[in-house]
């Protein structure tokens, strides 16, 4: 009887699915909903019996700093450390996979509690930017070529609450596997069709991520990226790094410097 019980315990443990924590935001301002929540809820239903991972959701307020503490609370409430922590937010009408967070808050309007930030660092004397630790190249390459072409590989998580949350979490929990993805915004044309693609992408990417055992911080500088761009061993991984941009390469961030 004792041997049978021990075998049962071993069997259950060996078949336990990796835990994934997925955060999403409440509606911002007067928007009827936040699409990150719509996608997160739909994904949870879609993958509730997924053989490769178990998904737990974390609802966040669109408020500077508060969302970070809420994500910490969700993390601490879990029975074990998740294999992957993934933040979802909404930005433009693309499916945007983010490489890094920036140490900068800069708003054109207030968050949901009336807070505004005027070109200020999130963490004084902190790193200017920090690469995320989710295995994004492998996640990207889990998708078919057609879906990859539609994805925006981004070094710009914005200067609002999404970036504030992502930067703080990546800075404090450097040994955890964490990343951030923007899904299409709630007011995008053809949103239902875009969300079908987003759900398909997220399911495949999460399933790929939980199979990677090493924690690897994504590079944030052109010089670092060039090393990976020069490696032609894996065509798809090489494609990812060619599409990625460093913090010191020309683009959106050239005029958003902390003075």
pLDDT of residue 9: 43
Establish if 93 belongs to a structural domain: yes
1-49 tens-digit pLDDT = 555 444 444 444 445 999 999 999 999 999 999 999 999 999 999 999 9
pLDDT of residue 47: 98
Look at the chain and report how many structural domains it folds into: 1
* Encoded tokens for 123: 């963490």
Task: State how far the Cα of 137 lies from the Cα of 209, in Å rounded to an integer.
Answer: 10
Establish if 173 belongs to a structural domain: yes
Contact 37/2 with Cβ under 8 angstroms? Answer: no
pLDDT of residue 2: 53
* % residues pLDDT > 70 (the chain): 91
Establish if 8 belongs to a structural domain: no
pLDDT of residue 137: 98
Quickly list H helices, the chain.
Answer: 2-14, 35-46, 66-77, 136-140, 145-150, 161-172, 191-209, 222-229, 235-243
pLDDT of residue 236: 98
Establish if 230 belongs to a structural domain: no
Establish if 103 belongs to a structural domain: yes
CATH number of the domain that 194 lies in?
Answer: 3.40.630.20
Establish if 170 belongs to a structural domain: yes
Establish if 125 belongs to a structural domain: yes
Domain, as residue range, for 54: 18-214
Establish if 171 belongs to a structural domain: yes
pLDDT of residue 10: 41
What residues in the chain have per-residue pLDDT under 50?
4-14, 252-259
Contact 168/122 with Cβ under 8 angstroms? Answer: yes
Task: State how far the Cα of 225 lies from the Cα of 227, in Å rounded to an integer.
Answer: 5
pLDDT of residue 14: 43
pLDDT of residue 7: 41
Structure pTM? Answer: 0.91
């Amino acid at each position: 009887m004792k041997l049978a019980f021990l075998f049962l315990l071993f069997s259950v443990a060996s078949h336990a699915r990796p835990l994934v924590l997925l955060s999403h935001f409440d509606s911002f301002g007067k928007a009827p909903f936040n699409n990150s929540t719509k996608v997160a809820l739909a994904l949870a239903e879609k993958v509730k019996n997924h053989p490769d991972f178990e998904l737990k959701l974390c609802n966040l307020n669109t408020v500077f700093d508060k969302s970070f503490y809420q994500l910490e609370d969700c993390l601490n409430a879990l029975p074990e450390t998740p294999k992957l922590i993934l933040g979802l937010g909404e930005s433009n009408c693309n499916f945007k996979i983010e490489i890094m967070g920036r140490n900068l808050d800069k708003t054109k309007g207030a968050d949901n509690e009336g807070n505004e930030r005027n070109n200020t660092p999130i963490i004084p004397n902190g790193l200017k930017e920090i690469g995320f630790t989710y295995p994004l190249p492998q996640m990207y390459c889990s998708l078919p070529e057609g879906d990859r072409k539609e994805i925006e590989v981004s070094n710009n998580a914005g200067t609002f609450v999404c970036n504030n949350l992502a930067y703080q979490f990546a800075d404090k929990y450097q040994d955890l596997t964490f990343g951030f993805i923007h899904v299409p915004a709630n007011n995008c044309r053809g949103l239902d069709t875009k969300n079908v693609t987003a759900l398909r992408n997220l399911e495949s990417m999460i399933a790929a991520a939980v199979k990677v055992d090493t924690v690897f911080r994504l590079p944030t500088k052109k010089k670092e990226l060039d090393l990976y761009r020069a490696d032609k061993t894996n065509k798809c991984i090489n494609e990812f790094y060619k599409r990625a941009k460093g913090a010191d390469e020309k683009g959106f961030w050239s005029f958003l410097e902390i003075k």
